[in-house]
Amino acid sequence: MSREFTRVGVIGLGTMGAGIVEVFARNGIDVVAVDVTEEAVERGRSFLAKSTGRALDRGKIDQAAHDTLHGHVTYATDFESLVDCQLVVEAVPEHLDLKKEIFAKLDAIVSPDAILATNTSSLPVTEIAASTSTPKRVVGMHFFNPAPVQQFVEVIRTVITADDVFEDVKALAERIDKKPVIVGDKAGFIANALLFGYLNHAVSMFESRYATREDIDAAMKLGCGYPMGPLALLDLIGLDTAYEILDTMYKQGRDRLHAPSPIIKQMVSAGLKGRKTGRGFYTYAAAGSPEVVADVHTPPEGTAEGVQLREISSVGVVGSGTMAIGIIEVFAKAGKSVTFVARSQDKLAGVRTAIERSQARAVEKGRATQEEADALLALLHPTTERADLAAVDLVVEAIAEDLTVKQELFTELDAICKPGAILATTTSSLPIIDCARVTSRPQDVVGMHFFNPAQVMKLVEVVHTVSTADDVVATVQELCREIGKHPVTCGDRSGFIVNALLFPYLNDAIKMLSANYASVDDIDTAMKTGCGLPMGPFELLDVVGLDVSLAIERELYIEFREPGYAPAPLLEHLVTAGYLGRKTGRGFRTYA
């Protein structure tokens, strides 16, 4: 018979512990909330009061529910008060010795059939269990912050956890409106094992000065729809916590990608632990405040002194695919005269028709007037002759991802375009310098990587080579803002910002699946509900296309020579079999 949980204990009343207390109490379960000192208990009480107060002010609960919730909670500083609890959840800092000491004490206090759970996000649950006389009743119950909001809970089963223990804990998680996933006792479990590799990579990108903290964070928010950028998220988590998690994961798996970036330890040693100390990668208005304030690392507004912007009143676009159509429409909507080149009249007609349909939908939905749509269409100048680009101020290349083809085009554009015209490529993976070097004006060549659909996505990666002139970069940055886009700037290396951070994470998810650690559905659920991502990794892979994903991962591996970036064999096998995702009806999932 399953256990009936009517009274539970929570040890550790920091942000996470107080959140767990709230979750249980909100669902009508009596909670004994314990911390080591009266001051710590009062702090935990204040965390709970603030959280429930916000819920009351926002109308999410009424006064009666608020009072009932608090009535379910009692506070204490001694472990003896937990004697009648059917479950005790430990939520103290991530120190193995501390957790083992607590579990040894609990083991002698609670009843023999009570369950002991740890909220650890990275430490070995098996080792914690071994500190008790009955390790089969120990389980991991990993909530995500903020616990009252995040639905996902990882239930960690060790090799000695009794079947009824993890089944009862899973049932309890469902009772308190969480989405539990059962996983094995492996460093990082699902969510952190995938999340922290990505976060660590972002720190390395920042540490190498490849891109600013603002651009790294904006790229992942706008390019991938993530709720927070990686560096802002690390500040929220706490750099000390992040270091402990990464260090634990590295020690268990010896994966170099989990070795904490040196700057993390340096910042922790300096007391720069993120929001809780008022300073981490960003500076905050006060300790614990979410308000970011300017500091010495905040980029100055406007154009750098001594840099003169080039005038961009007319643009050219080469290509007739989906991306080219979107870019053409974006420029025309911003009032730019657009000369677009395709290989045939039929291709030109297709581009025009697609834009007309897009504008008709905009008018129908009230996003544009008919006069605005007509004015946009009047700015379009179709041609099959590249020579007609001779007078434009900027040309954007949006043709196939084939370096030879792109080089042929840039050689021709170099001969056609007027002096001072900027030549831009939308490549997402090829070296831009290889396009620049076939011209006599490498200083005028830049990457302008739009995201699909270009009409909707706000992000543009502005990619400079070692030869690109400062005024070209500044001009393209300003042009992006003029056409309603958010530019982020980086150097010319494979993946730029977004793909360089995104695809190693996707590759890690495939490797986790290949190791039979978790299912496609469990991994997707973990990342969507645990980390707030708009899509799980396998859902995203099937949308992008497994062949496209494999090509990008190969480029990253060749560029960085990092063993951890080598494409997972399972991905290569699926592509070889023709299972490319939604476009073929089968990828990691099968579609109707």
- List pLDDT tens digits, range 254-273: 888 889 999 999 999 999 99
Does the annotation mark 358 as catalytic? no
Q: CA 18 to CA 418: how far, in whole Å? A: 65
Give percent above pLDDT 70 in the chain. Answer: 100
How far apart CA 442 and CA 432 sit, in angstroms, is 10
DSSP string, 461-504: EEEE-SS--HHHHHHHHHHHHHTT-EEEEEESSTTTTHHHHHHH
pLDDT at 88 over 90: yes
Q: Tell me: the pLDDT tens digits for 542-590?
A: 999 999 999 999 999 999 999 999 999 999 999 999 999 999 999 999 9
Active site residue 51: no
Angle ∠(373,375,378) on CA atoms, nearest 5? 110
- Selecting among 201, 449, 494, 539, the annotated active-site residue is 449
Give residue 1's pLDDT: 59
Q: Which 3 state secondary structure label does DSSP give 231?
A: helix
Catalytic residue among 428, 429, 467, 507: 428
- Residue 152, beta-bridge partner list: 179
| 208: annotated active-site residue | no
Q: Which residues make beta-bridge pairs with 79?
A: none
Enumerate the β-bridge partners of residue 407.
none
The secondary structure of residue 42, as a DSSP letter, is H
Within 98-193, strands assigned E span: 115-118, 138-143, 152-157, 179-184
Instruction: Identify the pLDDT of residue 288.
Output: 85
Q: What is the pLDDT confidence band of residue 530, given thresholds at 50, 70 and 90?
A: confident
- What mean pLDDT do residues 194-223 have? 96
Share of the chain above pLDDT 90, in %: 89
Kindly state the average pLDDT of the residues 332-347.
Answer: 96
Name the pTM for this structure: 0.89
DSSP annotation of 344: S
Determine contact, residues 2/164, Cβ cutoff 8 Å. Answer: yes
Question: Is residue 556 within 8 Å of residue 500, measured between CB atoms?
Answer: yes
Q: Could you read off the pLDDT of 19-64 as tens digits, one per residue?
A: 999 999 999 999 999 999 999 999 999 999 999 999 999 999 999 9
CA separation for the pair 560, 428 (Å, rounded)? 16
Q: What is the mean pLDDT of residues 176-195?
A: 90
Provide the β-strand partners of residue 32: 9, 74
Identify whether 428 is a catalytic site residue: yes
The pLDDT, as a whole number, for residue 302 is 80
Average pLDDT for 205-209:
96
Exactly one of 119, 261, 320, 499 is catalytic; name it.
499
Cβ-in-10-Å burial (0-12, 13-18, 19+) of 254 comes to exposed
**Mean pLDDT to the nearest integer, 328-340:** 96
Tell me the one-letter amino acid at 542: D
Given the residues 214, 244, 329, 461, select the one marked as catalytic. 461
